[in-house]
Amino acid sequence: MSGCRAKQAPAAAAAPGKKIKIAVDPVTRIEGHLKVEVEVKNGKVVDAHCVGGMFRGFENILIGRDPRDSSQIVQRICGVCPTAHATASVLAQDKAFGVKITTNGRIVRNLILGANYLQSHILHFYHLAALDYVNGPDVAPFVPRYKRNDIRLNKEKNAIGVNQYLKALEIRRVCHEMVAMFGGKMPHVQGMVVGGTTEIPTAAKIKQYAERFKQVKEFIENEYLPLIYILGSEYGDLLETGTGWKNVISFGVFPLNDEETDFLLKPGVYTNGKDSALDTAKIKEYVKYSWFDDSTTGLHPSQGKTVPAPEKATGYSFIKAPRYNDTPHEVGPLARMWVTNPELSPEAQKAGFKRMRDFGEKAFSILGRHIARAEEAWLVAKAIEQWLSEVKPGAETYTPTEVPETGEGMGLTEAPRGSLLHYINVKDSVIANYQIVSATLWNACPRDDMNQRGPIEQALIGVPVPDPKNPVNVGRLIRSFDP
């Protein structure tokens, strides 16, 4: 659907200075299930609650299973980024099994995950978020939509967006083929396993991947990026809207060396205006306002437990509240691009920006997040070009290994929508504990035990809602995070 379903008491809308409660339920055009409740006063959001209404329980499903099963089962967490969950799972297993993958295995893993990154970013912008800025014809999936949806593009620019929306469907299919070439299939890859990957690339397969990749790269450079900067010129106020906490965290993704100490997108933390190195010991999950038992609050994932408590009076979400050093942090493309601060595309430089931090405060905004996502797609595409020149036809991608009697490991990576952590503990050669801190937990979480709002909740504060019956900017803000 093109809009969100907004529900509020219509009589309250006319009273100036009075709070109006709006429930956007469900939030449409996202990957998954989410409800968001906001309070609006004098045309702006003054409070917000993110509600994850579905209990998943993957951690409990995995107890007692063969550890190698985890990389297949956890991919069912997300239909858009299963490859990232496979990556986090096999990284955790690599550590628990004490295995080191080959150079070719590392590069092929990057090619699999990289292709999924491009697919996910293109999907998110065009098929989830773009209808916040572009009007399609009066047919599905472009309708239903808000009656007053604040579309500002002229006819010519709007047509560019609609045409690209349709072309992006084909480009996504090509990305899926790229993933499947080395991953076995898509959306749930079979070829990424503990110890590396199962597919030894041939010269023919590398050539076929490269031919497909060329189409995707051209689309990103010639269509995706220019459209993003067109929107930036037409919706300038959305570069001032949706700031949030301005704290970000990145776990690092796409290792550039076999020691996995150097990454394309770096690990790091930015809190209250200061950069620091990532220290995973500072990660905890809080559940005061989550439907989980209070005995599980404030735990590091390695001690984490998944004990649902759906009747808990203080709870309003089945999402836990992850915190770094007891502070909320945003994750995702903006976080990664802010931490790494790489050189931006020629399109950005034409607009006067060389690096993400050149945007300053404007980066922490609705459109800033979309710009970061598009620029990251360009950066990953550049890296794929390099990996294609480094991958060796016929070279081994897998290191044989046995299931250990005991072991534990933490797999850190970045899903397209943000920082992803999988923890595995093996006893008697089966899974004794498994914990997942996914990207959406960081961004769409409820308040924590210190009563601090989650990142989306905080970013909603101050968002303009001039018409409570058409809360367009609420949807724009939520979708900018890609929850």
**Model pLDDT for residues 408-417, shown as the tens digit of each residue:** 999 999 999 9
Strand (E) or helix (H) holding 262? none
Tokens matching residue 19 = 């709070």
Nearest-angstrom CA–CA distance, 223 and 232: 14
Query: 74-92 pLDDT, tens per residue?
Result: 999 987 889 999 999 999 9
d(CA 397, CA 90): 14
The pLDDT of residue 338 is: 98
One-letter amino acid at 213 equals F
Which residue, 118, 132, 116, 117, is CA-closest to 29? 132
* Domains observed in the chain: 58-480 (1.10.645.10)
- pLDDT category of residue 17 using cuts at 50, 70 and 90: confident
Q: Would you say 73 and 140 are in contact if contact means Cβ atoms under 8 Å apart?
A: no
Query: How high is the pLDDT of residue 81?
Result: 85
First and final C-alpha spacing in the chain: 16
Q: What is the mean pLDDT of residues 305-319?
A: 97
Measured at the CA of 421, the angle between CA 359 and CA 290, to 5 degrees, comes to: 90
The confidence band for 7, taking pLDDT boundaries of 50, 70 and 90, is low
Average pLDDT of the segment spanning 3-22: 64
- pLDDT (tens digit, 9 = 90+) per residue, 193-224? 999 999 999 999 999 999 999 999 999 999 99
User: Sign of the C-alpha dihedral, residues 439, 114, 111, 384?
Assistant: negative
Averaged pLDDT for residues 11-15:
48
384-438 per-position pLDDT tens digit? 999 999 999 999 999 999 999 999 999 999 999 999 999 999 999 999 999 999 9
The dihedrals phi and psi of 424, each to the nearest 5 degrees, come to -130, 140
Mean pLDDT of the region 220-232: 97
**Backbone phi and psi for residue 270, each to the nearest 5 degrees, phi listed first:** -130, 110
pLDDT (tens digit per residue) in 367-389: 999 999 999 999 999 999 999 99
Confidence category of residue 305, pLDDT binned at 50, 70, 90: very high
pLDDT of residue 78: 85
Q: What is the mean pLDDT of the chain?
A: 95
The rounded percent of the chain whose pLDDT value lies above 70 is 97
